[in-house]
Amino acid sequence: MARSYRILVLHGPNLNLLGKREPGTYGLSTLAEINQSLEKLAVHLSCELSTFQSNHEGELIDRIHAAMDKHHGILINPGAYTHTSVAIRDAIAAVSLPTVEVHLSNIHKRESFRHHSYIAPVAIGQISGFGPNSYLLGLRALVEYLQLQSNA
Ligand code: DQA
């Protein structure tokens, strides 16, 4: 039986409006639907998720700090904080938990201010452009990474 990993799933600002927000860019799935599909996959991967969304940088940082000693990894869509937040980057570096960065849209295909991520250098990797599937691919990648680490 595979080990059960505890994963913190963080959604950044404005992602609470998914489904209504710029559907041409972000699609019609709501955040609740994305969380439900993550939960389904988590059962299959036998991992446990804690999910949290906030429009406030400090609240996201508090959750990252609290994940230390409680979670094995972090799946994060930092939203616009991707492109602005040295503080979230530093929090991820501080807790030193394997982190996967995900985006619904392909940030590299969009405005140039979205091309830079402060999070990418402290993440295992980034998955961008697959809509809600970015989250599912990200969770698979994170769990496989943790499994490989524990077998090493
Ligand atoms: C996003 C991309 C960011 O540039 C943007 O600010 C978001 C959503 C995405 O999932 O595509 O809020 O992270």
Q: What is the pLDDT of residue 126?
A: 98
**Of the candidates 101, 73, 79, 72, the residue with the CA atom closest to the CA atom of residue 11:** 79
- Kindly state whether residue 45 falls inside one of the protein's structural domains: yes
Residue nearest to atom 1 of ligand 1 (CA): 79
Residue nearest to atom 6 of ligand 1 (CA): 80
Instruction: Find the CATH number of the domain harbouring 59.
Output: 3.40.50.9100
Angle at 85 between CA 83 and CA 87, to 5 degrees: 160
Burial class, 80, CB count within 10 angstroms (exposed 0-12 / middle 13-18 / buried 19+):
middle
Report the pLDDT averaged over residues 5-33: 97
Q: Which domain holds residue 119?
A: 11-132
81 a catalytic residue: no
- Kindly state whether residue 6 falls inside one of the protein's structural domains: no
Examine the pLDDT at 1 and tell me if it is beyond 60: no
- Kindly state whether residue 137 falls inside one of the protein's structural domains: no
- Kindly state whether residue 139 falls inside one of the protein's structural domains: no
105 lines ligand 1 (CB under 6 A): yes
Report the pLDDT averaged over residues 126-140: 98
Examine the pLDDT at 3 and tell me if it is beyond 70: no
80 lines ligand 1 (CB under 6 A): yes
Report the pLDDT averaged over residues 15-32: 96
For residue range 96-113, list pLDDT tens digits in order: 999 999 999 999 999 999
Name the DSSP letter for residue 91: H
- Kindly state whether residue 39 falls inside one of the protein's structural domains: yes
- Kindly state whether residue 94 falls inside one of the protein's structural domains: yes
Q: What's the structural domain count of the chain?
A: 1
Name the DSSP letter for residue 96: T
- Kindly state whether residue 106 falls inside one of the protein's structural domains: yes
Single-letter amino acid code for the residue at 113: F
Residue nearest to atom 8 of ligand 1 (CA): 79
Single out the catalytic residue among 26, 81, 118, 135: 26
Average pLDDT, the chain: 96
Q: What pTM was computed for the model?
A: 0.97
Q: Which two tokens stand for residue 115?
A: 């091309």
Examine the pLDDT at 53 and tell me if it is beyond 70: yes
Q: What is the pLDDT of residue 151?
A: 86
- Kindly state whether residue 2 falls inside one of the protein's structural domains: no
